[in-house]
């Protein structure tokens, strides 16, 4: 399956590039035919980009490279990701509240993979608050010898059925979602000998809690 996914990568990117070129050609034309064609091309582009994202996530899940664990300043990593996403957060009218505990010290992490974890959780929080904005709280701390990270949003929340399926492969309630975000997040955390849990209430918001060992053994 991983081999097939690799094989699909090149034709898909050829398709994507040519669709983009075709769109540029049509954009130079005026009239209703050009407008109709561009609309159709945009649908194809949107779908082929979605396929590309699914494929990239699938490849990350199925053919994981060994973890590259080093001591990482987790608070700094969280701040970096939030800075990196600041424009989008502002656009989505999300207020960010950081409550970082500087006692946690360095944590043994694969920094690139862990960045993906945080980006995915913040993106989900932003999507959940897309309608009317809200607040995103990012907390760190120590609990019972473990490092705890909390990502809390005041978005739409989940009903119990959605919550039960949230970590399932390909489960998504979004028109453009792959449903691979949370399975990937969970997999990465488990590879760090950690765990993630989620509490959510429809209409109120969602809290993801990640617990990591201070210096877990790589798997
Ligand atoms: N913070 C959240 N608030 C409300 N619902 C959430 C939240 N995070 C996840 N969900 C629910 O869990 C589902 C699965 O999330 P997941 O990240 O795996 O996929 P996705 O976000 O739908 O797609 P993608 O990650 O590709 O954009 C979402 O479609 C949504 O219904
Ligand atoms: Mg997601």
30-80: pLDDT as tens digits: 999 999 999 999 999 999 999 998 888 888 777 677 889 999 999 999 999
Question: Which of 23-37, 174-188, 205-219 is the least confident region?
Answer: 205-219
124 lines ligand 1 (CB under 6 A): yes
- Distance from Cα 181 to the centre of ligand 1, integer Å: 7
* Reported confidence tier of residue 215, pLDDT bands at 50, 70, 90: low
Share of the chain above pLDDT 70, in %: 96
Of ligand 1's atoms, which has the minimum distance to the CA of residue 208?
1
pLDDT at 218: 36
Among protein residues, the one whose CA lies closest to atom 24 of ligand 1? 177
Q: How many CB atoms lie within 10 A of CB 86?
A: 12
* Reported confidence tier of residue 209, pLDDT bands at 50, 70, 90: very high
pLDDT at 40: 97
Q: How many CB atoms lie within 10 A of CB 117?
A: 27
* Reported confidence tier of residue 18, pLDDT bands at 50, 70, 90: very high
- Terminal-to-terminal C-alpha distance of the chain: 22
Average pLDDT for 2-30: 90
pLDDT at 198 over 90: yes
* Bridge partners (DSSP) listed for residue 195: 211
Average pLDDT for 159-164: 97
177 alpha carbon, closest ligand: 1
* Reported confidence tier of residue 219, pLDDT bands at 50, 70, 90: very low
Structure tokens at 152: 């809390």
pLDDT at 146 over 90: yes
Distance, in Å, from the CA atom of 70 to the CA atom of 185, rounded to the nearest integer, reads: 19
Average pLDDT for 85-106: 94
Mean pLDDT of the chain: 92
Distance, in Å, from the CA atom of 130 to the CA atom of 198, rounded to the nearest integer, reads: 20
**122, 159, 172, 206: which to mutate for ligand 1, most atoms within 8 A of CB?**
172
Distance, in Å, from the CA atom of 114 to the CA atom of 96, rounded to the nearest integer, reads: 20
pLDDT at 14 over 70: yes
Polymer length in residues for the chain: 219
Q: How many CB atoms lie within 10 A of CB 37?
A: 17
């Amino acid at each position: 399956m991983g081999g097939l996914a690799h094989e699909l990568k090149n034709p898909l990117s050829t398709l994507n590039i040519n669709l983009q070129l075709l769109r540029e050609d049509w954009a130079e034309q005026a009239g209703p035919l050009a407008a109709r064609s561009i609309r159709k091309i945009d649908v194809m582009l949107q779908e082929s980009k979605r396929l590309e994202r699914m494929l990239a996530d699938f490849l990350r899940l199925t053919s994981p490279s060994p973890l590259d664990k080093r001591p990482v300043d987790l608070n700094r990593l969280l701040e970096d990701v939030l800075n990196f996403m600041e424009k989008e957060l502002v656009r989505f009218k999300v207020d960010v509240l950081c409550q970082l505990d500087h006692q946690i010290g360095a944590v043994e992490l694969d920094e690139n993979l862990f960045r993906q974890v945080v980006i995915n959780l913040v993106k989900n929080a932003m999507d959940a608050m897309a309608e009317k904005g809200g607040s995103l709280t990012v907390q760190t701390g120590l609990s019972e010898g473990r490092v705890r990270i909390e990502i809390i949003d005041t978005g739409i929340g989940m009903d119990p059925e959605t919550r039960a399926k949230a970590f399932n492969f390909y489960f998504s309630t979004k028109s453009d979602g792959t449903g691979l975000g949370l399975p990937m997040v969970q997999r990465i955390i488990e590879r760090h000998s950690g765990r993630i849990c989620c509490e959510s209430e429809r209409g109120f918001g969602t809290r993801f809690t990640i617990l990591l060992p201070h210096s877990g053994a790589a798997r």
